[in-house]
Chains A and B, each alone.
Chain A
Amino acid sequence: MKKNYVAYSVMVILFLLGAFMPVILKSYQMNMLTEIIIFTLYAVSYNLLLGYAGLLSFGHAMFFGLGAFVTAIAINHIPGISLINAVLFGLAATIVAGFIIGCLLLRHKGSYFALLTLAFNSLFFVVATKWSSVTGGDDGLSITRPDLNLGFTSISMTNANHFYYVALIVVGIALVFCWYFTQTAMGKSVVLMRENEERMKFLGYNTNASRLILFTFTGALAGLAGCLYALHFQFVSLSAISVDMTTAVLIMAFVGGTGTYWGPILGVFVYILLQNFLSDITDRWAFFMGLIFIFMVIFIPGGLSQVIMNLYQRFFGKKTDDNTEVEETT
């Protein structure tokens, strides 16, 4: 109970801090912050699969890209569509895709699950590449952000700060909901399924149904992040649905640490800031990013969150109550 209270308080404080950022930061920095916020949702959704359920997916980008493309296609093909409806289109498509793919994958685990998700992602990528009349192929799709129509008023989205607030509120609500999900019986049963699935079955839990719900739910969250990504950049290219987009989120989650809820959020901040910093000083930034990640995976496998928790334990002498303990004892 205390843990929940602290978590919700931290989220509210971060949200309020975020609300003040347009006053402090320049437009370039605001763009980067919006990107970080969107990728935070993507990384948290991925961590629910990897960190909580222990399912290594190489296909999370298919949902991210699908959400982005469907939103862009809806905006380009439905004249006068509102921002909310465009996002709902993208979200609905990822829910349907997540459910269908989840039904096909739910009996597979471990390397079979990973390879099948990779295969599905490749399938989505090939469809997006070849179906250029709809997706724009290699050229991608350019869009103009529609206004946010709330019924009683309409807010123009041409101002990037307005869109920042939309992203902040949507992602903020989604993150609070994700945290709530991890605290529910369903969320806890996902962790326990990873620990001992057979035992859960003997207690009467339908583990296949739980896995399907989780897969669809995380796919929908990634799709929502994809919708916001398309709206933020006002452009969607094939990179949004490529395996590279999955490896990016995998690295973000690993850098932050998959053993905790907030690890991947930290990972997104570090990944994007580091990427921007290195690309400012060298053209070979990808090489140095790679070196840093190799170093981290080898020497800090628990990610930055583990380093922070170890420091906390050293200075305050108290073990933090988090998921990492699950990892340690299994």
Chain B
Amino acid sequence: MLEVKNIHSYYGKSHVLQGTSLDLKEGELVCLLGRNGVGKSTTLKSIMGVVNPNQGSICFNNQEIVGMKPFQIARLGIGYVPEDRRIFRSLTVHENLLMGIKGGKQKNAGTDDWTVDRVYKLFPNLKERKNSKGAYLSGGEQQMLTVVRTLLGNPRVILVDEPTEGLAPLIVKDVLDMLDTVRKSGVTILMVEQNFKAAIKVADRFYIMSKGKIVFEGNTEQLLAAEDIRRTYLEV
């Protein structure tokens, strides 16, 4: 569904991604692990067109997307939930959700499409806060709102950057449960995380990055078995 092949991305002269490759199959929740500064977020930004890779290719449903603008990539069906959440603080929860529907109106919503009603049914705590301004939501609620707002654009894949960062353990569980619910609804997810103990509860497959390259690929059992890899690339 989404195939990243040997991409090289730079910030000025700094060579951040040095041949990163990964792929996502439909309906999967894939987690990209690694320490700070190894290129995890840059991988997501490269897929989203915020950073343009100098080499390599990124194919989404067999279509090359390198060189496209972020809004064009979003319209193809890739949603992006950045690390800093970026909800619209001046809008209510409900208004934030409406902005997720392109143009603010949802026309011809099919039965499988995400609608505001469906979102409220699935995540009732958002419904309870529907009239609260974004500025007054807790970190966990903001994270949920950002993910759900992205869903209303009906993406086929969402890229989520460190969804549990800075959240209390109880809230981390809520956010991961929510991502699990989203995955079960058929949306493919690529999640960047540093907290592998949390990610292991929901992810199907894992990639580990180090110095701009993928150094491990495997499922939960393989990751648990690869103690050396975890010690070298994940543990502090």
Contacts and interface: CB of A to CB of B under 8 A. Distances in A.
A153 to B, nearest CB: 42
Contacts of A185: 103-105
Nearest to A195: B88
A192 B88 contact: yes
Contact of A196 (B50, B70, B74, B86): B86
B89 A205 contact: no
A198 B149 CA distance: 15
Nearest to A199: B86
A202 B70 contact: yes
A94 to B, nearest CB: 27
Nearest to A201: B70
Interface in A186-211: 188-189, 191-192, 195-196, 198-199, 201-207
A196 B102 contact: no
Given A329-B133, A329-B135, A205 B90 contact: no
Which secondary structure characterizes the binding site on chain A?
Answer: helix
Contact of B89 (A188, A198, A206, A329): A329
B90 A329 contact: yes
B105 A203 contact: no
A100 to B, nearest CB: 22
Contacts of A206: 69, 71
B100 interface: yes
A127 interface: no
B67 interface: no
Contacts of B133: 329
A215 to B, nearest CB: 18
Contacts of A189: 99, 104
Given A195-B90, A198-B86, A329-B90, A203 B74 contact: yes
A201 B79 CA distance: 10
A326 interface: yes
A188 B79 contact: no
A244 interface: no
Interface in A141-198: 185, 188-189, 191-192, 195-196, 198
Interface string B54-95: 000000000000000111001100011010001011110000
B100 A203 contact: yes
B29 interface: no
- How many B residues are at the interface, by size bracket? 20 to 34
B116 interface: no
- How many A residues are at the interface, by size bracket? 20 to 34
A205 B102 contact: yes
A288 B191 CA distance: 61
Nearest to A325: B90
Nearest to A184: B104
A330 interface: yes
Contacts of A203: 74, 99-100, 102, 149-150, 153
B48 interface: yes
Contacts of B91: 192
A199 B104 CA distance: 15
B91 to A, nearest CB: 8
Contacts of B50: 198
Nearest to B80: A202
Contacts of A201: 69-71, 74
Nearest to A191: B90
Question: Considering residues A191, A201, A203, A330, which has the most beta carbons from chain B within 10 angstroms of its beta carbon?
Answer: A203
A321 to B, nearest CB: 11
A33 B133 CA distance: 40
Contacts of B86: 196, 198-199
A206 B69 CA distance: 9
Interface string B88-122: 11110000000110111100000000000000000
Given A201-B69, A203-B149, A196 B79 contact: no
Given A185-B103, A188-B99, A189-B104, 11 more contacts: A185-B105, A199-B82, A199-B86, A202-B48, A203-B99, A203-B153, A204-B71, A204-B102, A206-B69, A329-B89, A330-B90
Q: Which 9 A-B pairs have the closest CB atoms?
A: A185-B104, A204-B74, A326-B90, A201-B70, A199-B86, A202-B80, A329-B89, A329-B135, A204-B75
Interface of A: 185, 188-189, 191-192, 195-196, 198-199, 201-207, 325-326, 329-330
15 contacts: A185-B104, A185-B105, A189-B99, A195-B88, A196-B86, A198-B50, A199-B82, A202-B80, A202-B150, A203-B74, A203-B102, A203-B149, A203-B153, A204-B71, A206-B69
